[in-house]
Amino acid sequence: MTEKLTLGKALNAGLRRALATDPKVVLAGQDIGKLGGVFRITEGLQAEFGEHRVMDSPLAESGIVGTSIGMAMRGYRPVVEIQFDGFVFPAYDQIVTQLAKIHHRTRGTMNVPVVIRIPYGGGIGAVEHHSESPEAYFSHTTGLKVVTCSNANDAYWMIQQVIASDDPYIFLEPKRRYHDRGEVDTDSEPLPLHSARVAREGTDLTLLCYGPMVKTCLSVAAAAEEEGRSLEVVDLRTLSPLDMATILASVRRTRRAVVVHEAQVSYGLGAEIAARLTEQCFYEMEAPVLRVGGYDVPYPPSRVEEEYLPDLDRILDAVDRSFDY
């Protein structure tokens, strides 16, 4: 069955299916019950499954995550919603020192299948602490897996896949894409969870992107085509672990690469990808890997956030620079 849903509604449908499939799945977070969350991702789920399955939590992120870790140790599969990306940091201690390490610390005898959903990124005109891109913090943490969807079909399937896994996951949701509509196939087999997706085929250069930047990069590829350049767009989907096989195969075909993300360029995912490409296919590339991202400043006020976020012109400029080498 195929239906057209927004990314947000697709997440809601995926969570509903996970709750219906496994009675050990529980949701927790601020205002996720009666209100359905700030972005209404959990709307209607408490009425359908009850307050013992979809729980409104106190305003205490460290407590929410800490309690969920305990529940996971007792056999449940908690799915935690962090209301906004910038609110995750009070729970950073619980995530990186407990959640990420329990499986290793117990020599593999204990699993903690906790999923932490984080709406992330900018572009919604929000106030301070509501437009962060914290993926590098968590991707750097051994023991955590980090994934992000960019479209409705991936949102529907990936949320179910991470909930079914025995590993702890950071599930990043591009909040400015919540209302983007797309086809969702609820019957066919989804892509494997830890695989990238070639969103558009090309021959001249690879744009490597994820989350909110996939739509932007597809627009860049369409604009570049008018100038006679064929750009391939790869949606990473999984940030830790990276699907290097797909990345390397694409870059070896096109021989050029630009990595795009909203987070600041310095010490970001783009640096890791550029390093790996340099190590593994240096002699096959025609130009160095270039990066486009946010500037090295705190996320700006909403009036000027469009100056901070990578856009079509900035990405096309990087494409042009790649061909100048």
Instruction: For 94-111, write each residue's pLDDT tens digit.
Output: 999 999 999 999 999 999
- CA 228/CA 224 separation, integer angstroms: 7
* pLDDT tens-digit readout, 2-26: 999 999 999 999 999 999 999 999 9
Give the pLDDT confidence score for residue 84 in this predicted structure.
Answer: 95
Give the pLDDT confidence score for residue 185 in this predicted structure.
Answer: 94
- CA 274/CA 98 separation, integer angstroms: 30
Rounded alpha-carbon distances, angstroms, from residue 172 to 122, 139, 164, 199: 13, 11, 17, 19
> Is residue 1's pLDDT more than 90?
no
Spot the catalytic one: 52, 104, 130, 194: 130
> Is residue 235's pLDDT more than 90?
yes
Q: Mean pLDDT for the chain? A: 97
> Is residue 152's pLDDT more than 90?
yes
Q: Percent of the chain having pLDDT more than 70? A: 100
- CA 166/CA 37 separation, integer angstroms: 25
Token pair 């894409």: residue: 177
Nearest to 294 by CA among 315, 306, 309, 314: 309
130 among known catalytic residues? yes
What is the average per-residue pLDDT within 144-148?
98
Give the pLDDT confidence score for residue 177 in this predicted structure.
Answer: 98
- CA 51/CA 57 separation, integer angstroms: 11
> Is residue 67's pLDDT more than 90?
yes
pTM over 0.75: yes
Domains contained in the chain, CATH given: 2-185 (3.40.50.970), 197-324 (3.40.50.920)
* pLDDT tens-digit readout, 273-308: 999 999 999 999 999 999 999 999 999 999 999 999
Give the pLDDT confidence score for residue 39 in this predicted structure.
Answer: 97
- CA 27/CA 57 separation, integer angstroms: 10
What is the average per-residue pLDDT within 49-67?
96
Cα-based angle 154, 155, 159 (whole degrees, multiple of 5): 110
What is the average per-residue pLDDT within 41-63?
96
Give the pLDDT confidence score for residue 188 in this predicted structure.
Answer: 86
